[in-house]
Chain A
Amino acid sequence: MKFSVSELSYLRSSLISSPPLRPDCRKPGQFRPVESEVDWLPFTNGSARVRAADGSECIVGIKTKVVARSEGSLIEPSVDITGYKDNDPLPNSLAEALRHTLNACPELTAQLILTEKYAFRLYVDCVVLSFTSHPLSLLSLAVFRALKSTRLPQLISSRDDTLVDEIPQFNDDWDAAQPICTKWSPPLVLLLAIVGDNVLLDPTDAELEVAETALCITWKNNAIAAPIKNVDIGSGKNVGGYNPKVLLDAYDLVQSCAAQVVSMIVS
């Protein structure tokens, strides 16, 4: 959506005031309501659909395949956005962000390893049907839900195949499949906008328009985890850098409200 100069100026001055006044009256650490559904795709190991109140929607399907462990990365994320071409920067940068986050998760990789020679490769395929604000948060929520519902077939052959060559055999009974998330929680990427000295969780499109930059912070196992980085929001109107003190505020904000976000999407 295009805004006039005076609209943007009004928006910016209300967001940099203390406490910030957001156009939808949210608190700085308040997430917009989302609804989600899991395990609804018949051909996948785990799937989720997340819908935000503004109509943004993301579908994630997770499929697995047994590969030799020497064959490169075990986690393969891909992002499709309706109306975008394959070589567009947005879907590719989102897929790259997901790859970073998921690869920085040793618990997940440990679950995928089958034997000394074989492992599951996890294909995390995301389809964004529509979006209004930056889709990273929504995408991450959907991946979080999908990973939570993912189950892998139970291995019935031996785990050790260093001496004898053996192709992994699996239990035919789908009820015996093991959930991938047992004692750990998958990573959740939260998007924050930095406006002046204020940090705002889950920014809308308009808020990003007047923000200095956006920050993504990963939340995993009830703690902040890597990666933490800047996100290119492409507005570039208020490029002037930001106060490093704001980063600490962002940390505090995530620490205080991430647990609420997790409980909101799980319920």
Chain B
Amino acid sequence: MSRFEIYSPEGLRADGRRWNELRHIKCGINTHSKSADGSAVVEMGASKVVCIVQGPQEPETRSRVREKATLSVSVTVAPFSTTERSKHVTNDRRLQEMSANLQNLFEEAVLTHLHPRTEIVCSLTVIAQDGGLLSCCINAMTLALIDAGLPMYEYVSACSVALFDQTPLLDPNNVEETELASVTVGIVGETDKISLLILERRLGLDRLPPALELGVEGCKVLRQVMDKEVRRHGAMRLASRAE
């Protein structure tokens, strides 16, 4: 049994949110304009991820020369990102799996056939983690790829949902994520079709549909937030060009 009251009978979570509320989202695009082709920072609550995209560029190794662009994703977790300091090794299995997931997801969303024989290098750096790590990475990568000017079908947005008994809880923080089973949902655009689904613990099959539904709703909100940021930045760039 948890030391914390995850979800009170009045319908409030430990941090004061209702079951269907996201945490505060802050995103920035083109944050590292001098050192990268595309860059973005996404904060979801206390989690913070920086994504830097280089490319499309000439691949470093011949194995990456293909008829479409190769996405290479690397994830670095800063040792100070968690409450208790922990040094990750670069070839950590969890991180490798996460970068493979990101690569698969984005190879569907990016029009890679338009840039044959090139490589797109995405480096994600996790600066602070408080739950929803994968979803935060996905959202940051979408914005950075858009900033790099790569053609994409639509925004990719992701959000996680934890299940407290029968109640799905949107965008769980670290405490909720360690206590409960959670599922990460990723969608491309504003469809109801799920492109990414990652479940890390056991969950009753009958409880999955409401969780997925809530997750998709969360993704749509995130897409709007990201779209707003892209448009804000675009308008700023246009205005500076007109001067």
Contacts and interface: CB of A to CB of B under 8 A. Distances in A.
Interface stretch (B77-85, B136-144, B175-183, B188-196): B77-85
10 contacts: A41-B80, A43-B46, A43-B80, A43-B81, A55-B33, A57-B32, A65-B85, A85-B90, A125-B79, A130-B35
A130 B52 contact: yes
Contacts of B103: none
A166 interface: no
Contacts of B90: 85-86
Given A82-B76, A130-B52, A123 B46 contact: no
Given A55-B36, A85-B90, A127-B78, 7 more contacts: A43-B81, A53-B34, A63-B79, A63-B85, A123-B80, A127-B127, A130-B52
B128 interface: yes
Interface string B121-144: 101010110000000000000000
A43 B82 contact: yes
Interface string A27-49: 00000000000000111100100
A203 interface: no
B74 interface: yes
B29 interface: no
A42 B85 contact: no
A61 B78 CA distance: 9
B87 interface: yes
B89 interface: yes
B80 A129 contact: no
A178 B111 CA distance: 54
Interface in A84-137: 85-86, 123, 125, 127, 129-130, 132
Interface in B91-128: 91, 121, 123, 125, 127-128
B127 A82 contact: no
B87 A78 contact: yes
Given A43-B83, A47-B80, A61-B78, A129 B125 contact: yes
Contacts of B158: none
A185 interface: no
A59 interface: yes
Nearest to B89: A86
Contact of A59 (B35, B52, B78, B89): B78
Contacts of A80: 76, 78-79
Interface of A: 41-44, 47, 53-57, 59, 61-63, 65, 78, 80, 82-83, 85-86, 123, 125, 127, 129-130, 132
Contacts of A43: 46, 80-83, 128
B219 interface: no
Contacts, number: 74
Contact of A82 (B46, B89, B125): B125
A47 B90 CA distance: 22
B127 A41 contact: yes
Contact of B76 (A42, A56, A123, A127): A127
A79 B127 CA distance: 14
A53 B35 CA distance: 10
Contacts of A57: 32, 35
Contacts of A42: 46, 128
A65 B76 CA distance: 23
B211 interface: no
Nearest to A127: B78
A130 B82 contact: no
B52 A129 contact: yes
A129 B50 contact: yes
A62 to B, nearest CB: 8
Closest 3 pairs (CB-CB, A-B): A55-B34, A61-B80, A55-B35
| A43, A54, A61, most chain B CB atoms within 10 A | A43
Given A41-B80, A43-B81, A86-B90, A59 B74 contact: no
B34 A59 contact: no
